[in-house]
Chain A
Amino acid sequence: MTMTDPGPTGRFGEFGGRFVPETLVPACIELEKAFYDAWADPEFRQELDTLLKDYAGRPSALTDCPRLSEELGFTLVLKREDLNHTGSHKINNVLGQALLAKRMGKTRLVAETGAGQHGVATATAAALLGMECLVYMGEVDMKRQELNVFRMKLLGAEVTPAMSGSRTLKDAVNEAMRDWVATVEESHYCLGSVMGPHPYPYMVREFHRVIGSEAREQINERHGRDPDVVTACVGGGSNAAGIFSGFVDTDAELVGVEPAGGAAVGDGIPGVVHGMLSYLKQDEWGQVLEAESISAGLDYPGVGPEHSHLAHIGRARYEQVTDAEVIEAFKLLPRTEGIIPALECAHALAWLSRDREALAGKLVLMNLSGRGDKDVNQMMEILEL
């Protein structure tokens, strides 16, 4: 059985676990209990479903892409997580965690963010539920994603730069964990991906399962069958986990697309950081390497442990694309379908474009996990139009 409950050890095969300082172990156990309890409680589920529908705008659309499909030579269908409130899939997880935190009596949300999408989503949920919110963001990312920094502040969150290491997502996670160690009694760490210590990888995947469940129903209704290929970009891997979970029990090929500069599954070896055992880019002594990607959201040297497991057992495969390929692919969707994708999603598009011959004639479902508005400033400096 794959993509089910990992049980009390929080292991997906050999990966996962709970590698945190003793101070945080009781908090993780408390969170685990609270999540299982809430997830089995029809009232909690109803409350979350209502928010997802009336506040976030679910279900998100499924969009056929006739012009781009013709150009690529296969049938491409997009799951439109970019149409959610706050502009990405991140809101699914954040509404779930914020409701859970509130149920646990926590008053403050701490989060890390890379591109700012998870930070914006967390700030949004905190505003909605009347909670305090502090977001850690790498200093480098704060510069490349100024717009999202402003959005978070507008939403009432405090944004604190992570100044250590590469000053990107990895370091923002470190700062968020340090904050949590100090404030664990009143704070919930609202982790933004399917990573970290148990129960986060499992819990965050479950909060994103709605993506795959909806898409499965929608694509069967419209195309009369399951897709041949399901693809999504992978940094920590939450949007991929969400859509994969809907198709893991079908014959569909599952393909995650990593940035070449941060390909944990592709180039990493098992290691332990940020609470989990998973594939990790590291040197011969176990020092974590800095990722380098044009996309702040994928600029991470690790990956969620369930992806390591899916790769290990061969149920999913993980491709890599370069920044140059991503820049080219970023232009495809606006021109042919009138949709500006997030740079993160342009990774999946870059792979589809590169491997179009091998995909000829197939039905391909891609998770368009976020919209590209946040990236246009950065891309204006790269693209000459």
Chain B
Amino acid sequence: MSTTTHTPGRLEATLRAQRDAGKKCLVPYITGGLGDDWLASLAAVIDGGADACEIGIPFSDPVMDGPIIQQANDIALESGVTPESIAADLRGFESPIPLAFMTYYNIAYRMGHERFAKMLNDCGVSGSILPDIPMDESDEWIATADENGVENILFAAPTSPDERLARTGVRARGFVYAVGLLGITGERQSLAESATKIAARTKNHTDLPVLVGVGIGSPEQAVEACSQADGVIIGSTVVRRLVEGQGAGAVRELIASYREALDTAFPG
């Protein structure tokens, strides 16, 4: 196992503290700019007991995302949302939990690495999650992210050989995003076997928190994944409620139900 020598950022420190307390990390995803009152969704996620939150910057061609998040992307883009408008909304919002932007690489590339990193700094976002730029293409971006204190999360996939997991463990910041199954984001009937497997394999290679995302659709599945993982990321199950117009109250209840299930199973 490799231990990284960098100073943990806010995201990593928060998730580590949760793990050190014997508890599990809950990181929901919401689509930035989805509805004029999207900050109410963020507040609901925080109220519900999330440890950190991923905020999606909509992209026209989200190849890692399933129908629900695609739909949320389209709705937000049609309403004129831009990376800058999301950042501007966040500037007035003092989040008590660390935030990460999840988007696709062309958003950062078009803006320029430096400007993208500065935008995150300016609006209080700690981390970046860019699923379509693997570490092999990341040298320049990771250097800029490190210089600016942006925690760049990397992915571990069920298809990644150990040699790649080892390198991921060294180069990732914040946490390692373990992809729970072969496929795109979306809720599934049951937790894929690959979810606990990849979490366990990844943890053999890194001391960073390892969170499982993609394919987690119920508190029971979250608990099951956490038999190996340090936490879970839940996206489509949250965004579906927002797309269906269920509102912030429903989101808060949903997050609280995951929180309760995780805290009951792993009381610390």
Query: A residues within 8 Å of B by Cβ?
Result: 17-27, 164-165, 170, 174, 177-178, 181-185, 270-275, 277, 280, 282, 284-288
Contacts and interface: CB of A to CB of B under 8 A. Distances in A.
A26 B159 contact: yes
Contact of B182 (A170, A184, A272, A280): A184
Contacts, number: 116
A21 B179 CA distance: 10
B64 A21 contact: yes
The size bracket of the interface on B is 35 or more
Given A22-B164, A181-B182, A272-B132, 11 more contacts: A17-B137, A22-B159, A22-B160, A23-B158, A24-B159, A27-B159, A178-B66, A272-B105, A272-B106, A285-B110, A286-B108
B61 interface: yes
A17 B141 CA distance: 15
A321 B91 CA distance: 46
Contacts of B109: 270-272, 277, 286
Given A19-B133, A285-B83, A184 B159 contact: yes
B132 A21 contact: yes
Contacts of B70: 164
Interface of B: 59-64, 66, 70, 74, 77, 82-84, 104-111, 131-134, 136-137, 154-161, 164, 168, 179, 182-184
B137 A174 contact: no
14 contacts: A22-B154, A23-B159, A25-B136, A25-B160, A178-B63, A178-B183, A181-B182, A181-B184, A184-B182, A272-B109, A272-B132, A285-B82, A285-B83, A286-B106
Nearest to B57: A285
A273 B61 contact: yes
B77 A287 contact: yes
Contacts of B136: 18, 25
A282 B106 contact: yes
B182 A182 contact: yes
Most buried by B among A22, A178, A274: A22
Contacts of B133: 19, 272
A377 B175 CA distance: 55
